[in-house]
A = this chain, B = another copy of it.
Amino acid sequence: MTKESIRVLIVEDHHVVRQGLVALLNVVDGLEVVGEAADGAEAITQFRKHLPDITLIDLRLPRMSGVEVIQRIRMETPNARLIVLTTYDGDEDIYRALQAGARAYLLKGMTSDELISTIRAVHAGKSHIPPAIAEKLAERMGTESLTPREFDVLEQIVNGKSNKEIGTELEISEATVKTHINSLLGKLGVTDRTQAATAAIQRGIVPLESLRKTKP
């Protein structure tokens, strides 16, 4: 019985991790790694070229975020089956990736069994979200989301700016800054800017990587 292999594309910038995935998957019967990509642009090229059955995609990629890649792929191939890979279970990432159309979510700490069974499940058309993650997702669903402006302000807070500085930066008055802060504190369920900052980092609302960039 020569059943068709499930054709997998791997999108992951870390060379070691990519190798690990290839090594794990290629020894499995019925799976075949047809392509690898190390960044978003390459991911889209490879996707078009191979039209894989399953795409494993890291959320943190250089230049283009994983979420963006997912959106673009889904735009041209709405029934693409995408599985998100990530190191941390940053709540916001999960939310956005699943919103963008990912069918499943895996942490890099997973076992090979989890990896393989998830690939099979998603290929069979199921959505496969681990209970622990589903739970968090449910929590997050109930949470109001920040408006674009609130997000701008939060970003500045994380970067250690004072209200006055934020006002200057965003070209609004300090009073307006306070208004935004007041509502975002409520939405995040915290009571001051320091808690807002750590919550933002912890939940992945503001990525840690953006810190260094915006400093100078």
Contact = CB atoms under 8 A, between A and B. Distances in A.
B197 A208 contact: no
A108 interface: yes
Interface of A: 13-24, 87-88, 108-112, 115, 157-160, 162, 190-195, 197-199, 201-202, 208, 211-212
Contacts of A193: 194
Contacts of A192: 160, 162
* Copies of this chain present: 2
Main secondary structure of the interface of A (DSSP, over half): helix
A163 to B, nearest CB: 11
Given A193-B194, A194-B157, A197-B194, A110 B20 contact: no
Nearest to A192: B160
B109 A14 contact: yes
